Amino acid sequence: MKAFAFVLLCALAAVQGRYTGLQTTRSAAALGENPYVVHLRIAVSTSGLLETCVGSLVDNRWVLTAASCVASSRFIWVRYGVVNVINPSLVTETSTVRLNPGYSAATGANNIALVSINRYVIPTDNIVPIVPVGPVGDSGTVCAFGGEEGPGEVLNCYQVQVSEEDGVLTVSSDDFEPSPYDVGAAVVSGDNQVGLLVDGSGKFLGTAAYTSWLEQETGLDLSPAGPEDSNESEDSNESEDSPEDSAEAVHFV
């Protein structure tokens, strides 16, 4: 099968991938294995048509995706906890998006956006936010619905190889053939998201360069936790004795 390699630039624009011959593994996703994945169904304001994209839940109230997916949206239906789009664990509807201020539809620069959820999504076994930036390991995962002739219904995940050199990240796969319906899909390395698909031909954008913007829009603190932070977190957890405090602790904030 044709091999793809995708280059993620931790800068302002994504670049097109080059070919490799690395083998990877494709598998149908099981419920709860990739609980950050969301399916986006978009009513386009300019045409009235419906389009499909992918996103990642990065907070109780925010979904990260490509700006090109939602720039012309009128309504967005967000499906969570989904390995088959027909049977999601939760569906919400929203019309509020935050495009990166540097996004250019003409050039594709800064093709990243946030979707504001119209409710507080409480994590479950099948719905869990992912940290949208982080260190890059040697391997990673891309999950997408795909479809050769139209939007797919079943989530498939691909184990890929990831490398970094001089600030450029390369994701290599023999199996993953991106489609326009997979735009917005996250590239996950370790426990964190490190990029997202921004083009059906195989262009990815690294998320690290957008850390400040993500923090400003979502209120998240995305700075790496040091030893002191970990100790403070443990002390805080030990002091949470009341049932009310314990209930609050299960929410991803």
Each of the 253 residues of the chain gets a pLDDT tens digit; together they read 444 444 444 444 333 333 233 334 555 677 888 999 999 999 998 887 899 999 999 999 999 999 999 999 999 999 999 999 999 999 999 999 999 999 999 999 999 999 999 899 999 999 999 999 999 888 899 998 877 677 788 999 998 877 766 555 677 788 888 889 999 999 999 999 998 999 888 788 889 989 999 999 999 999 876 545 545 544 544 444 433 333 332 222 2
Q: What is the pLDDT of residue 94?
A: 95
Is the pTM here over 0.75, yes or no? yes
Q: 210, 171, 227, 236: which is closest to 24 by C-alpha?
A: 171
Residue position matching structure tokens 């989904």: 82
Per DSSP bridges, beta strands 73-80 and 90-94 are antiparallel
Q: What is the pLDDT of residue 26?
A: 52
CATH topology of domain 1-253: Thrombin, subunit H (2.40.10)
- Tell me the backbone φ, ψ of residue 87, rounded to 5 degrees: -125, 65
Domain ranges of the chain: 1-253
Q: What is the pLDDT of residue 228?
A: 54
Lookup: tokens for 35: 């609980």
